[in-house]
Amino acid sequence: MQTKQGPAHNNCFDIIRHLAAIMVIYSHHFALSGQDEPTFLGSGTLGSLAVFIFFSISGYLITQSYERRKSNFDYAKKRFLRIYPGLAVCLIFTLYLCCGLFGKAGWAEWALSLEPVKTFIRVMVITGVGVVGVMPSDINDFTSGYLLSNTMNGSLWTLFFEVFDYIVIALFLTVFKNKNLAAFIPLILSAIIQVICVKKGITHLAIIGTSLFTVPFCVGALLYINRDRWINNLHLKVLMLTAGLLVIYFASCGGLLTNVLGPIAICVMTIVIGVSIKDQLIKGRFDFSFGIYIYAFPVQQIVINEMGIPFYASMILSLLITFVLASLSWFLVEKPMIKR
């Protein structure tokens, strides 16, 4: 299938997504080991940077997916099949293997109880954000004695906001004939909410997450909608990258620049780099990034707290195990679902 920027994989978004997923593992490994995570833009972590990158690429590609849809049902079906089957299998792995083998009750007692079923439904229905605030009994006391305790999978909560943005961009593109307006309205609303959150010290997860992640998502959408104006203009792309670097430099001062302009700059740079370099490595043959993102956290928890090996050795082992699980997830679950 052709786009106005060339063949379907005439970009390096797959590579960027895999690097971002590895960046999440690297950043989380510090937190799970009882250390401070490496920071970016003064206060944000490298993990936060990686999530901004994910949302930027999603905004660009999901808008493309919406434009190419056969129907709104076709769009919704594709988005559902990209997230939920992989998430469901990951939850079964985490709840029945990780929580069952490394929790308080024996595996059979836990597996035959209703608790893993209830936790599974809760997380699936609220699309990942259900892991926030889980009680130890919800996960068989898995991680209760760990350095970062009572945390089953601290990566899943962002999936709710990913799905939220899928719905938002589809609704606005359906309602508004002007595509720029359809992406700009949720962008400006989210930016305003972020400004208010910073000024008022609001920390509610739903408000912060919805506004914070919608900003890079909608910028990605705008860049796709206006791609003909910049994608083949080398001088304009250099200018966009330079402006992004300057904004990131000044955003390190903190405050509004960090929370609003920082994610915008990251998004612009991610998309410009992504469409400017042709992927000579993955070429669309696989995408382990989602699997890496959702499996890494429980794997890291177990490796760090159960094996007692040095920091970087545990990081490398966690990465290897996660890659195996992510590859199985892709070939056995995600890829077959995407083809439906």
Q: Tell me, what's the pLDDT at 33? A: 97
User: What is the Cα–Cα distance from 329 to 85, expressed in whole angstroms?
Assistant: 9
- Report the distance separating Cα 27 and Cα 36, nearest Å: 9
Q: What is the pLDDT of residues 241-295, one digit of tens each?
A: 999 998 888 777 665 666 678 889 999 999 999 999 999 899 889 999 999 999 9
Q: What is the pLDDT of residues 99-147, one digit of tens each?
A: 999 999 999 999 999 999 999 998 998 876 667 667 898 999 999 999 9
Residue 176: what pLDDT?
A: 95
Mind giving me the DSSP string for 280-299? SS-TTS---HHHHHHHHHHH
Q: Which amino acid is at 196?
A: I
> What pLDDT, on a 0 to 100 scale, did the predictor assign at position 113?
95
Give CA–CA dist 331/21, Å, rounded: 18
Which contiguous run of DSSP H or E holds residue 3? strand 2-3
pLDDT digits (tens, 9 = 90+) for 169-220: 999 999 999 999 999 999 999 999 988 988 888 888 888 888 889 999 999 9
pLDDT, the chain, mean: 91
- Closest among 29, 18, 23, 100 to 318, alpha carbons compared: 29
